[in-house]
Structures are given as structure tokens and as C-alpha cells.
Amino acid sequence: MPNILVTGSKGQLGSEIKELSPEYQDNFFFTDRDNLDISNQEDIKHFIETNDINIIINCAAYTAVDKAENDEISADKINHLAVKYLAEIAKEKNIKLVHVSTDYVFDGTNFKPYSESDTTNPNGVYGKTKLDGEKAMQEINPNNSIIIRTSWVYSSYGANFVKTMLRLGKEKKSLGVIFDQVGTPTYARDLAKTILDIIPTIKNEAVEIYNYSNEGVLSWYDFAKEIMKMAKLDCTVNPIESKAYPTPATRPHYSLLNKTKIKETFKIEIPYWKDSLAECLKKMKERK
């Protein structure tokens, strides 16, 4: 029975993995910054040796995209150096490593869905530090390890776009949402299930990169409209351009990910974004 370390277990993806974990016959060790500092090489090594870990799912990340612009040291520590340390111990101890990355490694200027082999060119500190983490992992190259790039993550846990829209939809009669950024949301529960399902079949010598998001194409405006509709909120959503809502970090205008590789390699089906949104809203209602 594998001993699986899940870092960043209080985040959206980590929380979903934790909720799903009883369905799997594995021993899980859920950690966060309070009980394991993954930016400390000795802490990681001690934890892994003490608990005889043989699989790592790295959900930990510095995800404050705008804040990262003025806090590169902290972002680099988690998104780059910690990944490097995890990859080094994974290689040394022959541990399977699943690392979660982002669409922000691309600049968002493509005209067709990004494949795993497309040229990376991050716009800001967050994307750059995540890409540095990917590169470090590829250079160290632990066996049976993969990188999963994802986009627009939301969940019934944590802070995210869906929860923000639900709150604003109750507080306001109307709001403006960006229509010139296009991509696909990812329900963290779908990604969590995929990771747990494919772990036993991951077998590769060089680190492989896979894309994962839900199926479909939409803008943040479309997403907001559907959230209001499904939640039956009387709030008018108006389309606005990105320039009307300036932020410290530049967002990719085009974040569509080509998911053919992960679907064909692991023979998985990916849910349509509307179906997953409905599922998430149902879960939020039940949790209340």
C-alpha cells in the first residue's frame, strides 16, 4: 500500500484530494506550511524518510499572481526551489512525483489550444517561477514523474472566482466581468480524481508534461453569466475589456489547453465545464 504525501493540502486541489482519499486504498499524509516547510530541504528529507513516502503529489504553490510581482523571493521559494528539492529527493529515493503547474507559463498570444510542447513565455513573476520549477524538475528528472498544467481552478474549498461571483451576485444588481480573456475553468475535484486515478499507471523515464482543464471554451464573462444563472441570482453581468480592470500582473488573454495527450495516455474522460460547475454549486449548497 503506497504512502502518499500531499503538499498544500489546505488549498483547493489538496482539499479535494483529501475529501476523495477514503475512496482509495492508500496511506495519505496531508501537509501544509504549518507542519512541513517544503522550502527547507532538510525538513522534506526528514519527513519523507520518517514516513516512508513513495509518492508525492505537490499541490503547494504561491498563487497570489498580483502580489508575486513585488514578492518574487517568496514566490520563487515555493514555486521553484521547493519543486527542485522535491524532485531531488524523489530521484534519490525513487519516489513518484506529480507536480501541478499552470497555463501562466504561456504568454496567452496563441490562436489555438496550447499543447505541452508549445514554446513557453510567461508574462509575470508567478508564471516565471512556476516555469522555473518545471525546468528544475525536468533537469533533475526523477523516474515516473509528471507535471500537470491546469487553468482557472475553482472548488467548493478556498477562495476562487466562483465564490467571488456568488458573493457579488448577492450584493450587487450588476457587475462588469472581463470578456477578452478566453480559456476553460478547472473544477479542482475533477483534477484531484484524475490524479488519484492515474497514479498507479504513471510509468515514464523522462518527466512528462500533461495539460488538464475541463472541456469547453469560454471567457470569464461567460463563466460569470453561467454562475449567476445556475445560482438563480438576480445580477446583470456586463462584458468589459481587460484594460478597464488593470492589475499589477498581466493575465494571458488566451489560456486554452489541448488535453489530447492526457486523455489518450491514461484513457480518461474529462467532464464539460458546465456539468462540473453544476456539481460544484450543488456541493457548496450541501456543505451549507
Q: Which residue has the cell 482557472?
A: 152
Please answer whether residues 95 and 51 qualify as being in contact, where contact means their C-beta atoms are separated by less than 8 angstroms: no
Please answer whether residues 123 and 108 qualify as being in contact, where contact means their C-beta atoms are separated by less than 8 angstroms: yes
Q: Residues with catalytic annotation? A: 126
Crossing angle of the two packed helices 161-171 and 220-230, in degrees rounded to 10: 60
43: buried, middle or exposed (CB in 10 Å: 19+, 13-18, 0-12)?
middle
Please answer whether residues 185 and 277 qualify as being in contact, where contact means their C-beta atoms are separated by less than 8 angstroms: yes
185 φ/ψ angles, rounded to the nearest 5 degrees: -70, 160
Distance (Å, rounded) from C-alpha 171 to C-alpha 51? 47
120-139 residues labelled b (16+ CB within 10 A) or e (exposed): bebbbbbbbbbbbbbebbbe
